[in-house]
Amino acid sequence: MHTPLLSCADPLRPAKADPHFAAETQAARSLGAETALIDHDALLAGDARAAVRRVPRGFGAAWYRGWMIPVARYGELASALAEREAGLIVSPEAYRRAHELPGWYSVFADRTPASVWADGVPDVRSLGPGAGIVKDYVKSRKHDWDTACFVPDLADRAGLRGVVDAFRALQGEFLAGGIVVRAFERFMGPETRVWWLDGRPVYVGPHPDTPDVSVEPDLAGIAELVAKLDCRFVTTDVVRRADGAWRVVEVGDGQMSDRPPALDPEVLIGALTSERVQPSGRFPTAGGGRAGED
């Protein structure tokens, strides 16, 4: 038996997968797994029952691969699926832990930039002097770096407030949770995205922002933190700091992490839907031996 896969329907052709995820649903079907589609627009509009109308009754507990879902809406999706004897393998609690910075921060605190968060402008005194980064619980406005992301000097409280205000205005209704401020660290080289399934790195490769470059990370110590987080399917974006230390820039729920073109949909979906997880990927032994020793 294969674990089924839920994905997002194409808003224009609801019986078909959204083109962004079509290769993954196709891979699932060709591997022998059941697939079904949810209406992501209906879910975000607050009509979870309508969102799952096309999920067959008795579909069972499934992985989801699709567009991001706010934590509260994810809970509504789980409830609506349960009414149809379907469900999500990743519980709403586990989803929150992996998806939102306050959920994973304490576990990764030694390996990720120091961070504070609040509904308004956070108290940044504990971050010390220097530059900072503004984001919400899930996303930054990294493409608006100078106006709504980077804070040159956290001691300049008016400057910080200006960046937070600009960030809030741009996020609008899509602001996830509250405002996070992180101490700026000097990184070098591209980020590498590590896909972890049941504590094992099933794929290590480029970050979607830099699809053509990736470096082999040193995952020593990171696998232990992923195990401690206790979420079955997560990604960690890791990068080398100027002093050489490997840092975790962010953690994400693997169900919503963007798949770089280099990650073959069959590799990802095969790992998810088959009963036995087979480590594979571009750097199959990078930390994998350590994580897979048990």
Which chain residues interact with Mg ion by CB under 5 A?
250
Tokens of residue 171, six digits: 């996020």
Closest distance to ligand ADP from the beta carbon of 82 (Å)? 30
Output 57 or 143, the one with its CB closest to Mg ion: 143
DSSP state letters, the chain: -PPPEEEEEETTEEEEE-TTTHHHHHHHHHTT--EEEE-HHHHHTT-HHHHTTTSPTT-EEEEE-SS---HHHHHHHHHHHHTTTEEESS-HHHHHHHHSHHHHHHHHGGGS--EEEESSS---GGG-SS-EEEEESS-B-GGGHHHHTEES-TT-HHHHHHHHHHHHHHHGGG--SSEEEEE---EEEEEEEEEEETTEEEEEEE-TTSTT-------TTHHHHHHHHT-SEEEEEEEEETTS-EEEEEEEETTTSPPPTTS-HHHHHHHHHSSS----SSSTTTTHHHHT--
Query: Does position 113 bind ligand ADP by CB under 6 A?
Result: yes
Q: Which of 133, 204, 219, 268 lies at the binding interface for ligand ADP (CB under 6 A)?
A: 133
Output 67 or 187, the one with its CB closest to ligand ADP: 187
Output 146 or 294, the one with its CB closest to ligand ADP: 146
Output 113 or 288, the one with its CB closest to ligand ADP: 113
Residue nearest to Mg ion as judged by C-beta position: 250
**Which option in ligand ADP, Mg ion, none does residue 133 bind, with CB closer than 5 to 8 A by kind?**
ligand ADP
Q: Which stretch binds ligand ADP (CB under 6 A): 80-88, 182-190, 195-203, 222-230?
A: 182-190
Output 68 or 223, the one with its CB closest to ligand ADP: 68
Residue 131: CB atoms within 10 Å: 15
Closest distance to ligand ADP from the beta carbon of 209 (Å)? 7
- Considering only residues 183 to 222 of the shown chain, the ones binding ligand ADP according to CB under 6 A are 183-185, 187, 191
Query: Does position 253 bind ligand ADP by CB under 6 A?
Result: no
Q: Which stretch binds ligand ADP (CB under 6 A): 2-10, 57-65, 68-76, 136-144?
A: 136-144
Alpha carbon distance 6, 276 (integer Å): 19
| Contact call for residues 6 and 250 (beta carbons, < 8 A) | no
Output 52 or 234, the one with its CB closest to Mg ion: 234
In the Cβ-directed half-sphere of 77, how many Cα atoms lie within 13 Å? 34
Closest distance to ligand ADP from the beta carbon of 266 (Å)? 26
**Which option in Mg ion, ligand ADP, none does residue 49 bind, with CB closer than 5 to 8 A by kind?**
none
Closest distance to Mg ion from the beta carbon of 17 (Å)? 25
Closest distance to ligand ADP from the beta carbon of 31 (Å)? 30
- Residues making contact with ligand ADP (CB under 6 A): 113, 133, 135, 139-140, 142, 182-185, 187, 191, 237, 249-250
